[in-house]
Structure 1
Amino acid sequence: MTAPRKARSALDLATVVLSLMVGALGIWTILAGPTELLPIHYNAAGQADDWGSRELLGGGLAGLALLTLLLGGGMALAAGRTDDPARRRALRYAQLVVVLSIPLISLLIASASLSGATDISGALPVALMSLVILLIGAFLGRVGPNPFVGVRTPWAYKSRLSWERSNRLAGRLFFVIGLAGLLTAPFAPQPLGLYAIVGAIVLAAVWSGVESWRVWRTDPDRQPF
C-alpha cells in the first residue's frame, strides 16, 4: 500500500512543481524579460514566422502553467475518487502524459523565444523535441478514457476496446517517431529531418483515428451513436 501512495505523491508533487516553474518563468518574462520583440511562433521548417512582446510570451507561459495545474490536478482528483483500480491507474497515466508534455513543451518554447532563436531546426532542438515525443509515446498507450489526453475520437468514446487499441497504437507510433528523431538528429539534413518528424506525427494521428473507427466498427460491445 505504501508504494502506490508514494507514487501518487511524487506525481502530484511533479505536477505542482512543474506548473510553478513554468508559471514563475512566465511572470519573470513579463516583468524582466527582453524588451525587444521575441520569436513566438515557428513554421514546419523551424523558422520563426511571428514575433511578439515579452508580455505576450509571458502570458502564454502563465496560461500553459495554469493548464498543466488544472488538467493534472483534475486527473489526480478523478483518480482519487474512483474505486476502480484500473480506472485509477489509467487516469494517473493521463496525468503523467500531461506532466511530460505541456511543461516540457512550454520550457522548449521559452528557451527558443527568450534566446531569440529564429531557427529551431538544428540538431539540439530537434533532439529535445524528439525526446518529448518519445516520453509521451512511452505512456500514451496506458491512458484511460478522459476528455483531454489520448486519441479522443467519437468511436473511442463509444468502445473501450477502440480506446485501448487506438491509444496503444498512437503510443507506439509516437515512441518510434521520437526514438528515430533522437537517433538521427545529429546528422539528419535540416529542415528535412524536422519535416519528417512533423509529417510522421500527422500520419500517426490520422492512422490512430482510423484505427479507433475500425475497432469500434467490429467491436460487438460498442455503444451506438
Structure 2
Amino acid sequence: MIRTGLLITLVALVIAGAFSWYGWTHTEPGAQIPVHFDLNGEPDRYGSRAEAFLVMPAFLVGLAFLMSLAPMIDPRGENVRRSRPVFLAGWIIGAAALAGAQGFVTWTALAGEPDADTMSRSVTGLLAGIMLVLGVVIAKARPNFFVGIRTPWTLSSDLAWDKTHRWGSRLFLITGLAGAAIAVWGPVPQGTIILMTALVLLVIGLAAYSFWVWKNDPARETLSPEDA
C-alpha cells in the first residue's frame, strides 16, 4: 500500500516538477504570479516565483511523508491497512490535486488569466469528481484516525462509524452526480457556490448523524472516572 502511494507521489512529483521548471525558466525574476483565485476565476492573490513554482512540489513531498507514517503512528494502524481503497484514493486525490494545481498556476503565469466560466466549471467538475470517488470507496473505511469521516462519535463507536460511512457513501455519490451535472449544464459561478454549500451541509449532517447513532449505541466508548 505504501509503495503504491509513493509511486503515485513520484509520478505526481515528476509532473509538478516539469511544470515548475518550465514556469520558472519562462518567467522573469521578480514577476508577480497569480497563485489564488476566487469563484469567478479572478486572481485574488499574487506571489513570487518561489511561491508559484516551489510550494506545490514541497507539499507533495510532505503528503508522501505524512501518508507513509499514517499506518505506523495511528493507534488503529491495522485498520488503516484494512482501509486500503480509501487510503489510496485519498492519496491519489491529494497528489493529483497538487500536480494539477501546479499545472494551472504555470498555465496562468504564461498564458494569462483563465476565462471565468471555464474556471468555475473546472472547479465544480473537480469537486464533483472527488465526491464521486469518495462515494465509491468511503464505505470501505475501517475505524482509524487518518482516513474516513472522523468525528468524536465515529471514533468512539464502531456502529456510528459504519452507519455514518454507509450514508456518507450514498450522499457523496448523489452530490457528486449533481455537481457533475452543474459543471456541464448548470449556471456558474452560482452552481459552484450551491455545490460547495451542499458539501458543507452534507458534512455537518453526517457529523450530527454520527452523534445520534453514538448516543443510541449501548457499546459506545465513554470516558470513565478512572480514565480521567
TM range, smaller chain: 0.7 to 0.9
Q: Deviations over 1:97-155 (max 9, x none)?
A: 32232112213322332222354644344323422332133212222233332222111
**2:181 alignment counterpart:** 183
Work out which of the two has the higher radius of gyration on C-alpha atoms and give 1 or 2. 2
**2:101 alignment counterpart:** 109
Distance 1:133 1:30 in 2: 31
Identical amino acids, percent of aligned pairs: 24
CA drift of 1:41 comes to 1.9
**2:125 alignment counterpart:** 127
Distance 1:54 1:136 in 2: 34
Asked whether the 8 Å contact 2:36–2:45 carries over to 1, the reply is yes
Which of 38, 42, 49 is the equivalent residue of 1:43? 38
User: Are 2:13 and 1:20 equivalent residues in the alignment?
Assistant: yes
Distance 2:173 2:14 in 1: 26
CA drift of 1:174 comes to 2.2
Name the SS for the 2:184 alignment partner: coil
| Distance change (3 Å), C-alpha of 1:9 and 1:106 | closer
| Distance change (3 Å), C-alpha of 1:183 and 1:99 | same
Distance 1:111 1:130 in 2: 20
Distance 1:43 1:96 in 2: 29
**2:138 alignment counterpart:** 140
Q: Which residue identity lines up with residue 127 of structure 1 in the other structure?
A: G
Q: Output the TM-score relative to the length of structure 2.
A: 0.77
Asked whether the 8 Å contact 1:141–1:171 carries over to 2, the reply is yes
Count residues with an aligned counterpart: 214
Q: Which residue identity lines up with residue 65 of structure 1 in the other structure?
A: L
| Distance change (3 Å), C-alpha of 1:19 and 1:27 | same
| Distance change (3 Å), C-alpha of 1:113 and 1:9 | closer
1:1-225 matches, within 5 Å, as 8=1, 11-12=4-5, 14-21=7-14, 24-25=17-18, 28=21, 31-32=24-25, 34-35=27-28, 36-75=31-70, 88-90=81-83, 92-116=84-108, 117-118=113-114, 119=116, 121-225=119-223
| Distance change (3 Å), C-alpha of 1:44 and 1:168 | farther
Per mean C-alpha deviation after superposition, the further-off stretch among 10-19 and 130-139 is 10-19
| Distance change (3 Å), C-alpha of 1:42 and 1:105 | same
CA drift of 1:21 comes to 3.1
Q: Which residue identity lines up with residue 178 of structure 1 in the other structure?
A: G
Distance 1:93 1:27 in 2: 30
| Distance change (3 Å), C-alpha of 1:64 and 1:33 | farther
Name the SS for the 1:224 alignment partner: coil
Distance 2:15 2:71 in 1: 19
Q: Output the TM-score relative to the length of structure 1.
A: 0.78
Asked whether the 8 Å contact 1:162–1:216 carries over to 2, the reply is yes
